[in-house]
Structure 1
Amino acid sequence: MNKKTVLITGASRGIGREMAKVFAKNEYNVLINYNKSEKEANELYDELISKGYSVVLYKADISNPLEADAMVKFCIGTFERIDVLINNAGITDYKMFTDTTNEDWNNIINTNLNSVFYTTKSAVKYMLYEHSGKIINISSIWGMVGASYEVAYSTSKAALIGMTKALAKELGPSNIQVNAIAPGVIQTDMLNGIHEDVIEDLKNETPLLRLGTPLDIANLALFLASEKSNFITGQVISSNGGFVIN
Protein backbone atom coordinates (compact mmCIF):
# COMPACT_ATOMS: atom_id res chain seq x y z
CA MET A 1 0.00 0.00 0.00
CA ASN A 2 1.47 3.33 -1.11
CA LYS A 3 -1.10 5.60 0.51
CA LYS A 4 -0.13 7.34 3.70
CA THR A 5 -2.08 6.43 6.81
CA VAL A 6 -3.51 8.70 9.48
CA LEU A 7 -4.94 7.61 12.82
CA ILE A 8 -7.36 10.16 14.28
CA THR A 9 -8.62 9.75 17.83
CA GLY A 10 -12.08 11.01 18.70
CA ALA A 11 -12.95 11.19 15.00
CA SER A 12 -16.69 10.59 15.04
CA ARG A 13 -17.76 14.16 15.80
CA GLY A 14 -16.70 17.80 15.57
CA ILE A 15 -13.14 18.60 14.55
CA GLY A 16 -12.12 14.94 14.38
CA ARG A 17 -14.97 14.13 12.02
CA GLU A 18 -13.99 16.94 9.65
CA MET A 19 -10.36 15.85 9.75
CA ALA A 20 -11.37 12.31 8.79
CA LYS A 21 -13.24 13.70 5.77
CA VAL A 22 -10.42 15.99 4.68
CA PHE A 23 -7.71 13.34 4.98
CA ALA A 24 -9.84 10.72 3.21
CA LYS A 25 -10.50 13.14 0.32
CA ASN A 26 -6.75 13.70 0.10
CA GLU A 27 -6.13 10.00 -0.42
CA TYR A 28 -4.99 8.95 3.03
CA ASN A 29 -5.93 5.70 4.65
CA VAL A 30 -7.92 6.84 7.69
CA LEU A 31 -8.51 5.04 10.96
CA ILE A 32 -11.52 6.62 12.63
CA ASN A 33 -11.35 6.08 16.37
CA TYR A 34 -14.45 6.49 18.52
CA ASN A 35 -15.60 5.35 21.93
CA LYS A 36 -19.20 6.25 22.80
CA SER A 37 -20.49 7.93 19.62
CA GLU A 38 -21.16 4.73 17.68
CA LYS A 39 -24.08 6.09 15.64
CA GLU A 40 -22.12 9.11 14.45
CA ALA A 41 -19.07 6.97 13.70
CA ASN A 42 -21.05 4.52 11.60
CA GLU A 43 -22.70 7.35 9.68
CA LEU A 44 -19.31 8.88 8.92
CA TYR A 45 -17.90 5.51 7.89
CA ASP A 46 -20.82 4.81 5.55
CA GLU A 47 -20.49 8.27 3.99
CA LEU A 48 -16.79 7.91 3.29
CA ILE A 49 -16.94 4.30 2.12
CA SER A 50 -19.75 5.20 -0.31
CA LYS A 51 -17.34 7.66 -1.94
CA GLY A 52 -14.68 5.00 -2.35
CA TYR A 53 -12.33 6.25 0.34
CA SER A 54 -10.01 4.01 2.35
CA VAL A 55 -11.27 4.14 5.94
CA VAL A 56 -11.79 1.82 8.90
CA LEU A 57 -13.57 2.23 12.21
CA TYR A 58 -12.06 1.29 15.54
CA LYS A 59 -13.85 1.49 18.88
CA ALA A 60 -11.49 2.08 21.78
CA ASP A 61 -11.41 3.84 25.12
CA ILE A 62 -7.93 5.26 24.64
CA SER A 63 -7.71 6.34 28.27
CA ASN A 64 -7.07 2.60 28.74
CA PRO A 65 -3.46 1.86 27.70
CA LEU A 66 -4.28 -1.66 26.54
CA GLU A 67 -7.04 -0.44 24.22
CA ALA A 68 -4.86 2.38 22.89
CA ASP A 69 -2.05 -0.05 22.10
CA ALA A 70 -4.43 -2.52 20.45
CA MET A 71 -5.79 0.29 18.26
CA VAL A 72 -2.34 1.28 17.00
CA LYS A 73 -1.47 -2.36 16.30
CA PHE A 74 -4.75 -2.76 14.40
CA CYS A 75 -3.95 0.30 12.30
CA ILE A 76 -0.54 -1.04 11.34
CA GLY A 77 -1.93 -4.53 10.77
CA THR A 78 -4.63 -3.16 8.46
CA PHE A 79 -2.71 -0.54 6.49
CA GLU A 80 0.87 -1.75 7.14
CA ARG A 81 1.92 1.71 8.32
CA ILE A 82 1.07 4.75 10.38
CA ASP A 83 2.43 8.00 9.02
CA VAL A 84 0.37 10.52 10.98
CA LEU A 85 -1.09 10.38 14.47
CA ILE A 86 -3.63 13.05 15.38
CA ASN A 87 -4.43 13.11 19.09
CA ASN A 88 -7.80 14.81 18.94
CA ALA A 89 -10.04 13.06 21.49
CA GLY A 90 -11.12 15.42 24.24
CA ILE A 91 -13.89 16.41 26.62
CA THR A 92 -14.66 19.43 28.76
CA ASP A 93 -16.85 20.27 31.73
CA TYR A 94 -18.07 23.78 32.51
CA LYS A 95 -18.14 24.34 36.26
CA MET A 96 -16.45 26.29 39.02
CA PHE A 97 -13.16 24.90 40.28
CA THR A 98 -14.64 24.49 43.77
CA ASP A 99 -17.43 22.35 42.27
CA THR A 100 -15.02 20.13 40.35
CA THR A 101 -14.95 16.68 41.90
CA ASN A 102 -12.01 14.30 41.94
CA GLU A 103 -13.93 12.18 39.45
CA ASP A 104 -14.46 15.18 37.14
CA TRP A 105 -10.77 16.03 37.26
CA ASN A 106 -9.56 12.49 36.65
CA ASN A 107 -12.00 11.97 33.80
CA ILE A 108 -10.76 15.02 31.92
CA ILE A 109 -7.08 14.34 32.58
CA ASN A 110 -7.45 10.69 31.55
CA THR A 111 -9.32 11.53 28.34
CA ASN A 112 -7.42 14.64 27.25
CA LEU A 113 -3.88 13.89 28.43
CA ASN A 114 -3.26 10.32 29.53
CA SER A 115 -4.82 8.97 26.34
CA VAL A 116 -2.31 10.99 24.32
CA PHE A 117 0.56 9.45 26.26
CA TYR A 118 -0.75 5.92 25.74
CA THR A 119 -1.54 6.28 22.04
CA THR A 120 1.62 8.20 21.20
CA LYS A 121 3.89 5.82 23.09
CA SER A 122 2.52 2.94 21.05
CA ALA A 123 2.69 4.75 17.70
CA VAL A 124 6.18 6.12 18.29
CA LYS A 125 7.65 2.60 18.44
CA TYR A 126 6.67 2.13 14.81
CA MET A 127 7.69 5.64 13.75
CA LEU A 128 11.14 5.21 15.29
CA TYR A 129 11.60 2.00 13.32
CA GLU A 130 10.59 3.80 10.10
CA HIS A 131 12.62 6.91 11.01
CA SER A 132 9.69 9.14 10.05
CA GLY A 133 6.31 10.31 11.25
CA LYS A 134 4.08 13.22 12.14
CA ILE A 135 2.33 13.67 15.47
CA ILE A 136 -0.29 16.40 15.78
CA ASN A 137 -1.78 17.15 19.20
CA ILE A 138 -5.02 19.09 19.37
CA SER A 139 -4.69 21.50 22.28
CA SER A 140 -6.71 24.71 22.76
CA ILE A 141 -6.27 28.44 23.22
CA TRP A 142 -7.43 27.76 26.79
CA GLY A 143 -4.29 25.70 27.20
CA MET A 144 -2.37 28.85 26.30
CA VAL A 145 -4.23 31.49 28.33
CA GLY A 146 -6.63 29.58 30.63
CA ALA A 147 -10.41 29.74 30.84
CA SER A 148 -12.68 30.44 33.80
CA TYR A 149 -14.94 27.52 34.71
CA GLU A 150 -12.68 25.20 32.69
CA VAL A 151 -9.69 24.76 34.98
CA ALA A 152 -9.38 21.00 34.43
CA TYR A 153 -9.75 21.35 30.67
CA SER A 154 -7.28 24.23 30.50
CA THR A 155 -4.79 22.28 32.59
CA SER A 156 -5.01 19.20 30.36
CA LYS A 157 -4.53 21.27 27.21
CA ALA A 158 -1.62 23.24 28.71
CA ALA A 159 0.08 19.97 29.64
CA LEU A 160 -0.40 18.80 26.08
CA ILE A 161 1.51 21.85 24.86
CA GLY A 162 4.39 21.02 27.21
CA MET A 163 4.38 17.43 26.01
CA THR A 164 4.46 18.58 22.39
CA LYS A 165 7.52 20.77 22.88
CA ALA A 166 9.48 18.22 24.89
CA LEU A 167 8.66 15.30 22.61
CA ALA A 168 9.58 17.31 19.51
CA LYS A 169 13.09 17.79 20.90
CA GLU A 170 13.42 14.12 21.74
CA LEU A 171 12.09 12.76 18.46
CA GLY A 172 13.55 15.34 16.09
CA PRO A 173 16.78 13.40 15.49
CA SER A 174 14.60 10.47 14.38
CA ASN A 175 12.90 12.58 11.70
CA ILE A 176 9.60 12.67 13.58
CA GLN A 177 7.84 16.04 13.78
CA VAL A 178 5.57 16.83 16.74
CA ASN A 179 3.33 19.89 16.66
CA ALA A 180 0.21 21.14 18.38
CA ILE A 181 -2.84 22.96 17.07
CA ALA A 182 -4.52 25.24 19.61
CA PRO A 183 -7.96 26.01 18.16
CA GLY A 184 -9.87 29.11 19.16
CA VAL A 185 -13.62 29.09 19.64
CA ILE A 186 -14.85 26.50 17.14
CA GLN A 187 -18.43 25.69 16.17
CA THR A 188 -18.77 22.19 17.63
CA ASP A 189 -20.86 20.36 20.24
CA MET A 190 -18.50 21.69 22.92
CA LEU A 191 -20.36 25.00 22.68
CA ASN A 192 -23.72 23.41 23.53
CA GLY A 193 -23.42 24.28 27.22
CA ILE A 194 -22.60 27.94 26.61
CA HIS A 195 -25.30 30.63 26.48
CA GLU A 196 -25.89 32.22 23.07
CA ASP A 197 -25.05 35.69 24.42
CA VAL A 198 -21.64 34.45 25.55
CA ILE A 199 -20.99 32.90 22.14
CA GLU A 200 -21.95 36.17 20.46
CA ASP A 201 -19.55 38.05 22.74
CA LEU A 202 -16.75 35.62 21.85
CA LYS A 203 -17.45 36.19 18.17
CA ASN A 204 -17.34 39.97 18.61
CA GLU A 205 -14.04 39.72 20.51
CA THR A 206 -12.49 37.85 17.58
CA PRO A 207 -10.81 40.23 15.09
CA LEU A 208 -12.12 38.19 12.15
CA LEU A 209 -15.63 38.54 13.64
CA ARG A 210 -16.57 34.89 13.33
CA LEU A 211 -16.16 31.61 15.09
CA GLY A 212 -13.86 29.00 13.67
CA THR A 213 -15.12 25.92 11.85
CA PRO A 214 -13.93 22.32 12.06
CA LEU A 215 -12.76 22.71 8.47
CA ASP A 216 -10.40 25.53 9.52
CA ILE A 217 -8.67 23.13 11.89
CA ALA A 218 -8.78 20.15 9.51
CA ASN A 219 -7.03 22.12 6.77
CA LEU A 220 -4.28 23.14 9.20
CA ALA A 221 -3.84 19.53 10.30
CA LEU A 222 -3.54 18.45 6.67
CA PHE A 223 -0.75 20.98 6.16
CA LEU A 224 1.12 19.81 9.26
CA ALA A 225 0.80 16.22 8.06
CA SER A 226 2.22 17.06 4.64
CA GLU A 227 5.80 17.26 3.42
CA LYS A 228 5.36 21.04 3.24
CA SER A 229 5.78 21.12 7.03
CA ASN A 230 8.91 18.99 7.24
CA PHE A 231 10.94 21.76 8.90
CA ILE A 232 8.26 22.58 11.48
CA THR A 233 8.38 20.85 14.84
CA GLY A 234 7.72 21.70 18.47
CA GLN A 235 5.35 24.48 17.48
CA VAL A 236 1.93 25.48 18.80
CA ILE A 237 -0.11 26.90 15.94
CA SER A 238 -3.25 28.63 17.10
CA SER A 239 -6.02 28.96 14.54
CA ASN A 240 -8.22 31.38 16.46
CA GLY A 241 -9.12 34.30 14.21
CA GLY A 242 -6.92 36.64 16.21
CA PHE A 243 -8.71 36.00 19.52
CA VAL A 244 -5.31 35.32 21.11
CA ILE A 245 -2.21 36.93 19.60
CA ASN A 246 1.17 36.15 21.13
Structure 2
Amino acid sequence: MSLQKCAVVTGSASGIGASSVKRLAKDGFDVVINYHRDSRLSEAESIAEECRAFGVRAMTVKADISDPSQCDELVQAVVDEFGRIDVLVNNAGITNLTPMLKMSDEDFDRVMRTNAYGTFYMMRSAAPVMKKQRSGSIINISSVGGLYGAPWSIGYAASKGAVIALTKTAAKELAISNIRVNSIAPGGCDTGIIEVNEHQIKEQLRFVTLGRVGRPDEIAGAVSFLASDDSSYITGHVLEVSGGVMM
Protein backbone atom coordinates (compact mmCIF):
# COMPACT_ATOMS: atom_id res chain seq x y z
CA MET A 1 0.00 0.00 0.00
CA SER A 2 1.28 3.45 -0.94
CA LEU A 3 2.31 5.76 1.90
CA GLN A 4 1.41 8.87 -0.12
CA LYS A 5 -1.92 10.15 1.15
CA CYS A 6 -4.90 10.50 -1.16
CA ALA A 7 -7.94 12.79 -0.98
CA VAL A 8 -11.21 12.38 -2.88
CA VAL A 9 -13.48 15.40 -3.34
CA THR A 10 -16.89 14.87 -4.90
CA GLY A 11 -18.35 17.59 -7.07
CA SER A 12 -14.94 19.18 -7.48
CA ALA A 13 -15.10 20.58 -11.01
CA SER A 14 -16.22 23.97 -9.71
CA GLY A 15 -17.01 26.10 -6.67
CA ILE A 16 -16.18 24.91 -3.16
CA GLY A 17 -15.17 21.48 -4.43
CA ALA A 18 -12.63 22.88 -6.88
CA SER A 19 -11.12 25.18 -4.26
CA SER A 20 -10.97 22.32 -1.77
CA VAL A 21 -9.30 19.82 -4.06
CA LYS A 22 -6.68 22.38 -5.10
CA ARG A 23 -6.00 23.26 -1.46
CA LEU A 24 -5.55 19.58 -0.59
CA ALA A 25 -3.15 19.18 -3.52
CA LYS A 26 -1.21 22.17 -2.19
CA ASP A 27 -1.14 20.39 1.18
CA GLY A 28 0.57 17.42 -0.50
CA PHE A 29 -2.28 14.98 -1.10
CA ASP A 30 -2.72 13.03 -4.29
CA VAL A 31 -6.21 14.07 -5.35
CA VAL A 32 -9.27 12.80 -7.15
CA ILE A 33 -11.50 15.27 -8.96
CA ASN A 34 -15.06 13.99 -9.35
CA TYR A 35 -17.56 15.37 -11.82
CA HIS A 36 -21.03 14.29 -12.93
CA ARG A 37 -21.81 15.68 -16.38
CA ASP A 38 -19.73 15.28 -19.54
CA SER A 39 -19.89 19.05 -19.93
CA ARG A 40 -17.71 19.33 -16.81
CA LEU A 41 -14.88 17.14 -18.12
CA SER A 42 -12.72 19.97 -19.47
CA GLU A 43 -13.06 21.89 -16.20
CA ALA A 44 -12.17 18.78 -14.21
CA GLU A 45 -9.10 18.12 -16.36
CA SER A 46 -8.00 21.74 -16.02
CA ILE A 47 -8.27 21.51 -12.23
CA ALA A 48 -6.29 18.26 -12.31
CA GLU A 49 -3.50 20.06 -14.17
CA GLU A 50 -3.48 22.83 -11.57
CA CYS A 51 -3.19 20.19 -8.85
CA ARG A 52 -0.30 18.41 -10.58
CA ALA A 53 1.60 21.70 -10.53
CA PHE A 54 1.98 21.13 -6.78
CA GLY A 55 3.94 17.94 -7.48
CA VAL A 56 1.17 15.48 -6.65
CA ARG A 57 -0.80 13.01 -8.72
CA ALA A 58 -4.33 13.86 -9.80
CA MET A 59 -7.03 11.91 -11.58
CA THR A 60 -10.55 12.72 -12.73
CA VAL A 61 -13.47 10.34 -12.26
CA LYS A 62 -16.96 10.78 -13.65
CA ALA A 63 -19.63 9.51 -11.25
CA ASP A 64 -23.16 10.40 -10.19
CA ILE A 65 -23.02 10.12 -6.42
CA SER A 66 -26.80 9.73 -6.19
CA ASP A 67 -26.26 6.25 -7.70
CA PRO A 68 -24.78 3.80 -5.14
CA SER A 69 -23.21 1.58 -7.80
CA GLN A 70 -21.35 4.56 -9.26
CA CYS A 71 -20.08 5.46 -5.78
CA ASP A 72 -18.69 1.94 -5.45
CA GLU A 73 -17.07 2.26 -8.88
CA LEU A 74 -15.55 5.64 -7.99
CA VAL A 75 -13.99 4.26 -4.82
CA GLN A 76 -12.67 1.19 -6.64
CA ALA A 77 -11.11 3.39 -9.34
CA VAL A 78 -9.31 5.39 -6.66
CA VAL A 79 -8.05 2.27 -4.88
CA ASP A 80 -6.86 0.81 -8.19
CA GLU A 81 -4.92 3.99 -8.96
CA PHE A 82 -3.67 5.13 -5.55
CA GLY A 83 -4.13 2.14 -3.26
CA ARG A 84 -5.79 4.10 -0.46
CA ILE A 85 -8.20 6.86 0.56
CA ASP A 86 -7.15 9.07 3.45
CA VAL A 87 -9.60 11.94 3.04
CA LEU A 88 -13.10 11.95 1.61
CA VAL A 89 -14.82 15.30 1.10
CA ASN A 90 -18.50 14.86 0.33
CA ASN A 91 -19.11 18.15 -1.41
CA ALA A 92 -21.32 17.29 -4.39
CA GLY A 93 -24.77 18.75 -3.98
CA ILE A 94 -27.67 20.48 -5.66
CA THR A 95 -30.23 23.02 -4.55
CA ASN A 96 -33.80 23.89 -5.49
CA LEU A 97 -35.19 27.32 -4.69
CA THR A 98 -38.81 26.28 -4.27
CA PRO A 99 -41.13 27.03 -1.33
CA MET A 100 -42.66 24.11 0.53
CA LEU A 101 -46.18 24.40 -0.89
CA LYS A 102 -44.87 24.34 -4.46
CA MET A 103 -42.24 21.64 -4.02
CA SER A 104 -43.01 18.53 -6.07
CA ASP A 105 -42.30 15.01 -4.83
CA GLU A 106 -39.85 14.55 -7.69
CA ASP A 107 -37.86 17.71 -6.94
CA PHE A 108 -37.74 16.98 -3.21
CA ASP A 109 -36.54 13.44 -3.87
CA ARG A 110 -33.89 14.62 -6.34
CA VAL A 111 -32.35 17.02 -3.80
CA MET A 112 -32.45 14.45 -1.00
CA ARG A 113 -31.02 11.71 -3.20
CA THR A 114 -28.01 13.77 -4.24
CA ASN A 115 -27.25 15.64 -1.03
CA ALA A 116 -28.20 13.16 1.70
CA TYR A 117 -28.25 9.76 0.00
CA GLY A 118 -25.11 10.63 -1.97
CA THR A 119 -23.24 11.47 1.23
CA PHE A 120 -24.37 8.19 2.78
CA TYR A 121 -23.46 6.16 -0.31
CA MET A 122 -19.95 7.64 -0.51
CA MET A 123 -19.27 7.10 3.19
CA ARG A 124 -20.50 3.53 2.94
CA SER A 125 -18.29 2.88 -0.10
CA ALA A 126 -15.12 4.53 1.24
CA ALA A 127 -15.24 3.55 4.92
CA PRO A 128 -14.13 -0.08 4.35
CA VAL A 129 -10.97 1.21 2.64
CA MET A 130 -10.25 3.50 5.58
CA LYS A 131 -10.98 0.72 8.07
CA LYS A 132 -8.27 -1.43 6.48
CA GLN A 133 -5.85 1.48 6.89
CA ARG A 134 -7.04 2.11 10.46
CA SER A 135 -7.22 5.81 9.63
CA GLY A 136 -9.17 8.37 7.65
CA SER A 137 -10.96 11.70 7.70
CA ILE A 138 -14.41 12.18 6.19
CA ILE A 139 -15.60 15.75 5.71
CA ASN A 140 -19.23 16.30 4.78
CA ILE A 141 -20.24 19.67 3.40
CA SER A 142 -23.58 20.61 4.93
CA SER A 143 -24.94 24.16 5.25
CA VAL A 144 -26.20 26.70 7.75
CA GLY A 145 -29.55 25.88 6.15
CA GLY A 146 -29.27 22.46 7.75
CA LEU A 147 -28.74 24.11 11.14
CA TYR A 148 -31.23 26.96 11.06
CA GLY A 149 -33.55 26.24 8.13
CA ALA A 150 -33.67 27.97 4.76
CA PRO A 151 -36.91 29.59 3.58
CA TRP A 152 -37.86 28.70 0.00
CA SER A 153 -35.31 25.87 0.04
CA ILE A 154 -37.04 23.24 2.13
CA GLY A 155 -35.59 20.30 0.23
CA TYR A 156 -32.08 21.70 0.44
CA ALA A 157 -32.37 22.50 4.15
CA ALA A 158 -33.80 19.06 4.91
CA SER A 159 -31.03 17.33 2.97
CA LYS A 160 -28.29 19.31 4.71
CA GLY A 161 -29.85 18.64 8.10
CA ALA A 162 -29.69 14.97 7.19
CA VAL A 163 -26.00 15.36 6.30
CA ILE A 164 -25.35 16.67 9.81
CA ALA A 165 -27.16 13.70 11.38
CA LEU A 166 -25.26 11.31 9.10
CA THR A 167 -22.00 12.95 10.17
CA LYS A 168 -22.61 12.59 13.90
CA THR A 169 -23.83 9.00 13.60
CA ALA A 170 -20.98 7.90 11.34
CA ALA A 171 -18.49 9.57 13.69
CA LYS A 172 -19.72 7.35 16.52
CA GLU A 173 -19.72 4.18 14.44
CA LEU A 174 -16.33 4.68 12.78
CA ALA A 175 -14.33 6.01 15.73
CA ILE A 176 -13.29 2.48 16.68
CA SER A 177 -11.44 2.30 13.35
CA ASN A 178 -9.69 5.66 13.92
CA ILE A 179 -11.82 7.32 11.24
CA ARG A 180 -12.90 10.86 12.01
CA VAL A 181 -16.11 12.27 10.53
CA ASN A 182 -16.88 15.98 10.61
CA SER A 183 -19.05 18.45 8.76
CA ILE A 184 -18.57 21.98 7.49
CA ALA A 185 -21.63 24.25 7.38
CA PRO A 186 -20.93 27.14 5.01
CA GLY A 187 -23.07 30.23 4.90
CA GLY A 188 -23.66 32.15 1.70
CA CYS A 189 -20.69 31.60 -0.60
CA ASP A 190 -19.84 33.27 -3.89
CA THR A 191 -19.41 30.20 -6.09
CA GLY A 192 -20.92 31.80 -9.18
CA ILE A 193 -23.27 28.83 -9.58
CA ILE A 194 -26.50 30.38 -8.30
CA GLU A 195 -27.54 33.76 -9.64
CA VAL A 196 -29.05 36.07 -7.05
CA ASN A 197 -30.10 39.67 -7.43
CA GLU A 198 -28.84 42.60 -5.37
CA HIS A 199 -31.97 42.65 -3.19
CA GLN A 200 -31.53 38.96 -2.29
CA ILE A 201 -27.89 39.55 -1.36
CA LYS A 202 -28.80 42.47 0.90
CA GLU A 203 -31.48 40.38 2.59
CA GLN A 204 -29.01 37.55 3.25
CA LEU A 205 -26.31 39.87 4.56
CA ARG A 206 -28.65 41.26 7.22
CA PHE A 207 -28.04 38.03 9.13
CA VAL A 208 -24.26 37.85 8.59
CA THR A 209 -22.15 39.44 11.32
CA LEU A 210 -19.19 40.04 9.01
CA GLY A 211 -21.50 41.65 6.45
CA ARG A 212 -20.32 39.80 3.34
CA VAL A 213 -20.62 36.51 1.53
CA GLY A 214 -17.90 33.91 1.86
CA ARG A 215 -15.34 32.76 -0.69
CA PRO A 216 -14.75 29.15 -1.76
CA ASP A 217 -11.14 29.34 -0.59
CA GLU A 218 -12.34 30.16 2.93
CA ILE A 219 -14.33 26.93 2.98
CA ALA A 220 -11.32 25.12 1.52
CA GLY A 221 -9.23 26.34 4.45
CA ALA A 222 -11.62 24.60 6.83
CA VAL A 223 -11.43 21.45 4.71
CA SER A 224 -7.64 21.58 4.90
CA PHE A 225 -7.78 21.83 8.69
CA LEU A 226 -10.18 18.90 9.13
CA ALA A 227 -8.10 16.81 6.72
CA SER A 228 -4.91 17.45 8.67
CA ASP A 229 -3.41 16.02 11.84
CA ASP A 230 -4.08 19.39 13.49
CA SER A 231 -7.68 18.20 13.90
CA SER A 232 -6.80 14.69 15.08
CA TYR A 233 -8.89 15.04 18.27
CA ILE A 234 -11.98 16.39 16.51
CA THR A 235 -14.83 14.18 15.33
CA GLY A 236 -18.59 14.48 15.08
CA HIS A 237 -18.25 18.25 14.92
CA VAL A 238 -20.09 20.74 12.70
CA LEU A 239 -17.73 23.60 11.84
CA GLU A 240 -19.77 26.63 10.86
CA VAL A 241 -17.99 28.83 8.30
CA SER A 242 -20.62 31.48 7.80
CA GLY A 243 -19.31 34.89 8.77
CA GLY A 244 -21.33 34.71 11.96
CA VAL A 245 -24.84 33.84 10.76
CA MET A 246 -27.53 33.94 13.48
CA MET A 247 -25.19 35.27 16.19
Which residue of structure 1 lines up, in the alignment, with residue 243 of structure 2? 241
Q: Percent of pairs identical after alignment?
A: 40
Q: Equivalents in 1 of 2:58, 2:160: separation in Å?
A: 28
Q: Equivalents in 1 of 2:155, 2:42: separation in Å?
A: 28
CA-to-partner distance for each residue in 1:175-205, whole Å, 9 max, x for gaps?
A: 111000000111113431x222111332343
Return the offset for 1:39. 3.1
Letter in 1 for 2:135: S
Which residue of structure 2 lines up, in the alignment, with residue 222 of structure 1? 224
Return the offset for 1:102. 1.5
TM-score (norm 2): 0.94
Change (3 A) 1:128 1:206: same
Which residue of structure 2 lines up, in the alignment, with residue 96 of structure 1? 99
Which residue of structure 1 lines up, in the alignment, with residue 34 of structure 2? 33
TM-score (norm 1): 0.95
Asked whether the equivalents of residues 204 and 210 of structure 1 are also in contact (C-alpha less than 8 Å), the reply is no
Return the offset for 1:51. 5.3
Q: Which runs of 5+ in 2 are unaligned?
A: none
The secondary structure found in structure 2 opposite 1:118 is helix
The secondary structure found in structure 2 opposite 1:108 is helix
Q: Equivalents in 2 of 1:98, 1:208: separation in Å?
A: 33
155, 158, 167: which one pairs with 1:155?
158
Asked whether the equivalents of residues 25 and 54 of structure 2 are also in contact (C-alpha less than 8 Å), the reply is no
Letter in 2 for 1:225: A
Asked whether the equivalents of residues 206 and 242 of structure 1 are also in contact (C-alpha less than 8 Å), the reply is yes
Asked whether the equivalents of residues 3 and 29 of structure 1 are also in contact (C-alpha less than 8 Å), the reply is yes
Which residue of structure 2 lines up, in the alignment, with residue 6 of structure 1? 7
Q: Equivalents in 2 of 1:88, 1:158: separation in Å?
A: 14
Asked whether the equivalents of residues 75 and 126 of structure 2 are also in contact (C-alpha less than 8 Å), the reply is yes
RMSD, aligned α-carbons: 1.3
CA-to-partner distance for each residue in 1:121-164, whole Å, 9 max, x for gaps?
A: 11111111111110100000000000111000000000110111
Q: Equivalents in 1 of 2:167, 2:155: separation in Å?
A: 19
Letter in 2 for 1:170: E
Letter in 2 for 1:7: V
Return the offset for 1:218. 0.4
Which residue of structure 2 lines up, in the alignment, with residue 207 of structure 1? 209
CA-to-partner distance for each residue in 1:1-45, whole Å, 9 max, x for gaps?
A: 432110000000100000011011111000000001223212222
Which residue of structure 2 lines up, in the alignment, with residue 196 of structure 1? 198
